[in-house]
Amino acid sequence: MVNGFHSKINLYPEVCNLCGGKVIYTDNKNIYHGKSYGSGKCYICTNCGAYVGTHKPRPKEAFGILANPEMRKLKHICHQQFDNFWQGKPNRSKKRKKAYAEMAKILEIPVEECHFGYFDLVMLKKAYKAIKQMQARRKKLLK
């Protein structure tokens, strides 16, 4: 692990990335208040309760690493701020791509590994700072 970043993410986890506990693959309705969500499946740590959802077309493939409440909260905030760079804007898929490339550059990681779901707490904090930097840059350009 370098700078808190796992460059190889296991999308089929068996061991918890947070506590080393046993991870099981199960229905996610116990997590999302009895409602099934997304693929309907998740990976959950039997020790600390951290979890991660999975892709709908590939229900065995996790979105990223298992997250605890603190990570989920920060991930949510990061996504909200980050999505403002492209959401509801013209050329949004191009803008989205550019924004990810810009963030990856600031974080000094390959763009294909630049996903909030892949970030641990240390990395999420760095990503949050990177987003603030990107917002400041855009403000400057508007002046």
Residues that bind Zn ion (CB under 5 A): 16, 18-19, 21, 45, 47-48, 50
**Residue nearer to Zn ion on the CB measure, 117 or 135:** 117
**Residue nearer to Zn ion on the CB measure, 18 or 62:** 18
Taking residue 54's Cβ as centre, other Cβ atoms within 10 Å add up to 21
**Taking the complex as a whole, how short is the minimal distance between the CB of residue 69 and Zn ion, in angstroms?**
12
Bridge partners of 15?
Answer: 22
**Taking the complex as a whole, how short is the minimal distance between the CB of residue 20 and Zn ion, in angstroms?**
7
**Residue nearer to Zn ion on the CB measure, 14 or 27:** 14
124 is written with which tokens?
A: 């999420």
Which one-letter DSSP state was computed for residue 93? H
**Taking the complex as a whole, how short is the minimal distance between the CB of residue 45 and Zn ion, in angstroms?**
3
**Residue nearer to Zn ion on the CB measure, 9 or 106:** 9
**Taking the complex as a whole, how short is the minimal distance between the CB of residue 118 and Zn ion, in angstroms?**
17
Identify the burial level of 17 via C-beta atoms within 10 angstroms of its C-beta, where 0-12 means exposed, 13-18 middle and 19 or more buried: buried
Q: Which residues contact 8 (CB under 8 A, 6 or more apart)?
A: none
